[in-house]
Amino acid sequence: QVQLVESGGGWVQPGGSLRLSCAASGFTFRSYTMTWYRQAPGKEREFVAATGSSTNYADSVKGRFTISRDNAKNTVYLQMNSLKREDTAVYYCNARFWKYEYWGQGTQVTVSS
């Protein structure tokens, strides 16, 4: 059974940091491109960062967020620094390889004073 389980979300003040984790099971993790997306209230889901054959970031998070993966632990991470109010969203983990695509349930990140 395929599972993607995000964790690490929560409340943080502007300028703070959080580290999200996404633990995967049920598929060959190392073969998949792993991507973080986010969806703010009233907005469409948007790309944040991806790691596969290369690493890519949305312009809005470049220099502040870092995506990484540990294939031995079947886990992908998103280190988020210098958080801004506009980073508030539900963050989703996505796994994609060929015709296969899986999503996690999401974890809430709230940046507020």
pLDDT one-digit tens code per residue, 14-45: 999 999 999 999 999 999 999 999 999 999 99
Would you say how long the chain is, in residues?
113
93 within 8 A of 76, measured Cβ to Cβ = yes
Work out the angle at residue 38's Cα, subtended by the Cα atoms of residues 14 and 11, and round it to the nearest 5 degrees. 35
pLDDT one-digit tens code per residue, 52-103: 989 999 999 999 999 999 999 999 999 999 999 999 999 999 999 999 999 9
At 61, list the tokens.
């998070």
Coil, helix or strand at residue 107: strand
